[in-house]
Chains A and B, each alone.
Chain A
C-alpha cells in the first residue's frame, strides 16, 4: 500500500527530515510510527499525502508512484486517502455536517447521498445527532472524531493520522485509537504517527520507530495478541 524506497527529504532551509528511509506498509495493515518529535514522522505522512515531495528516492502509494502525480492530479490523489490531523483542521465557522461532507461535495456526490453518508460516518465515530453543531461547540475529543469522520467518508483504502491523540486525555485517546482499529478490521490500511508509547503498546500491531530520519528497527516483535478493542 505504501512503499518508501530510499527516500530523502531535505527542506529548503537545509534541514534533513528524512534520510535514506525505506518502509513498506502492506495493504490492510495497521502500523504505528513512533519516535521523538522532530524525528521525521510528520514529514513521512506529509509525503504520503503529497503535501511535501521527496527530494530523492521513490514513494509508491496505492500503486501510484508519487513522482508521476502532477500538480493538477494531486486533488484526485488526495481523495483516495483519508488524513487525520493533530489540530483537526476543521472549518470552525461551518457546522459539523459541512465539515464531514466536504470531501463528497468536492467529489460531486449528489446531495441525498452526502446526507446519508455524513450520518453513517458520524455514527461510526459516535457523533450522530451533532450535525448542526459547530466544531467550536464540541470538545477536543469530539472535534478529533469529526476529523476522523471526514477522513473516512470517502471510503478511502488508506487512512493516515498524525498524532491523533496528541491533545487528548488517556480515556479519550483510547477511544480514538479504537475507532482506527475498527476501520483496520474492515480492511482499511491505517498508519498512525504517535509518540504515546504506552497507548501504542496496548495494540498488537507493528511499530515503526523513526529516528534521525530513518526507520530503525521496524519493532514488530509482535506482542502477545490482545483483544482487538482495548478498553480504557
Chain B
C-alpha cells in the first residue's frame, strides 16, 4: 500500500515536472479549459442570482379578496374571522373601504376628482396570506376556490400569473445552462484528449522502451492520466478566477440597480458548493479525456 502510494506520488510530481518543461503550451491548454468551464459557470451564477432576486416576488402570494359592495364592514369582519380559522392561512388583513379610498386618494393623484364622488365606490377588501407550506399552485388554487364560496365575497384575485411566467422562462434558461455545460464538457474532453494524444505522440520512443522492459499499459498510461488531472485542476482554478472577476466587476452596478428598486439585493458568487463542483468537474473531465485518449493511443504503440 505504501509502495503504491509512493509510486503514485512520484508519477504525480513527475507529471507536474514534465508539464512545467512546456509552460506556454500547458498554460494555453489550461486557459482553454478554464474558459470553457467559466462560461457555463457564469451562466449558472446568473441564473442563481436571478432566482434569489425573484425569490421575494414568487413568495408574495398574497390573495386579494374583494367583498360585494353590499357587504357591510361587519360582514367583512365575519368573513375574515372564518378565513383566519383555516389551517392553510397565515394572516388576514382587513382593508376597510374608507381606508382604501384614502390611500387611493393619496397615491393616485386623482384626489380632486375623487372629492366629487358622493359615495365610496370601493368595496371592503381582505388580504389573505397563505402559510408557507401551502404556497404550491395546486393548494393555492384550492384555497382561492374555497374563498369564493364565502358569503359576501365578490372577487378573489391571485395576481401571480406573471410570477409563474417568469419562473417558466427561468426554467428554460436553466436548461440552456445545462445544455451549454454539456456541450462545453464535451469540448473539454476533446481538448484534453487531443493534447494527451500529442503528448503521447511526442513520447512514443519512451513508451516503446518502457513496454519493451515490461511496462504494462496501465503503467505507461498513469503519467498521462495525471497530466489530464492537472490540466483539469488548472482549468478549474482559471474558471473560478474568471467567475470571481465577473462577479466582482458586476457587483457594484447590480447593487446600484437593486438600490433604485429599494432592494438590498447583492450579487452572489459561486459559493463553496459551486466551487467544489467546478473543481470536481474540471478534474473529472481532465481525467476522463486523458483516459479515453491514452487508452486508445497506447494500445497502438508496441515495440518493433
Contact = CB atoms under 8 A, between A and B. Distances in A.
A70 B87 CA distance: 73
A106 B219 contact: yes
A83 B209 contact: no
B209 A75 contact: no
A69 to B, nearest CB: 12
Interface in B1-25: 3-4, 6-7
B214 A103 contact: yes
B214 A91 contact: no
Query: Main SS of chain A's interface residues?
Result: helix
A116 B3 CA distance: 17
A89 B7 contact: no
A103 B7 contact: no
A49 to B, nearest CB: 7
Size class of the B contact interface (CB-based, 8 Å): 20 to 34
Contact of B212 (A78, A108, A154): A78
A89 B215 contact: no
Interface residues of A, number: 22
A225 interface: no
Given A91-B206, A108-B3, A102 B213 contact: yes
Nearest to B21: A93
A76 B219 CA distance: 12
A111 B206 CA distance: 21
B6 A102 contact: no
A83 B214 CA distance: 10
Given A51-B303, A75-B215, A75-B219, A102 B210 contact: yes
Contacts of A89: 208-209, 212
B10 to A, nearest CB: 8
Contacts of B107: none
Contacts of B217: 72, 75
Contact of A49 (B206, B209, B212): B212
A65 B303 CA distance: 21
A75 B302 CA distance: 11
A32 B3 CA distance: 40
Interface in A55-111: 72, 75-79, 83, 89-91, 102-103, 105-108, 110-111
Interface in B189-238: 205-206, 208-217, 219
Contact of B216 (A75, A90, A110): A75
A206 interface: no
Nearest to A76: B214
Query: Main SS of chain B's interface residues?
Result: helix
B304 interface: yes
A111 B209 contact: no
Contacts of A90: 209
A75 B206 contact: no
Interface string A9-49: 00000000000000000000000000000000000000001
Interface string B53-70: 000000000000000000
28 contacts: A51-B302, A72-B217, A75-B214, A76-B214, A77-B214, A78-B212, A78-B213, A79-B213, A79-B214, A83-B212, A83-B213, A89-B208, A89-B209, A91-B205, A91-B206, A91-B209, A102-B209, A102-B210, A102-B213, A103-B213, A106-B210, A106-B214, A106-B216, A107-B214, A108-B4, A110-B3, A110-B6, A150-B213
Contacts of B214: 75-79, 103, 106-107, 154
A75 B211 contact: yes
A103 B214 CA distance: 7
Nearest to B209: A89
Interface centre among B205, B208, B216, B217 (most CB of A within 10 A): B216
Interface in B263-304: 302-304
Nearest to B219: A106
Contacts of B209: 89-91, 102
Contacts of A150: 213
Contacts of B303: 51
A63 to B, nearest CB: 18
A75 B211 CA distance: 7
Contacts of A111: 6
A76 B218 CA distance: 13
Contacts of A51: 212, 302-304
Interface centre among A49, A91, A106, A107 (most CB of B within 10 A): A106
B225 to A, nearest CB: 16
Nearest to B215: A106
Given A75-B219, A91-B206, A111-B6, A106 B213 contact: yes
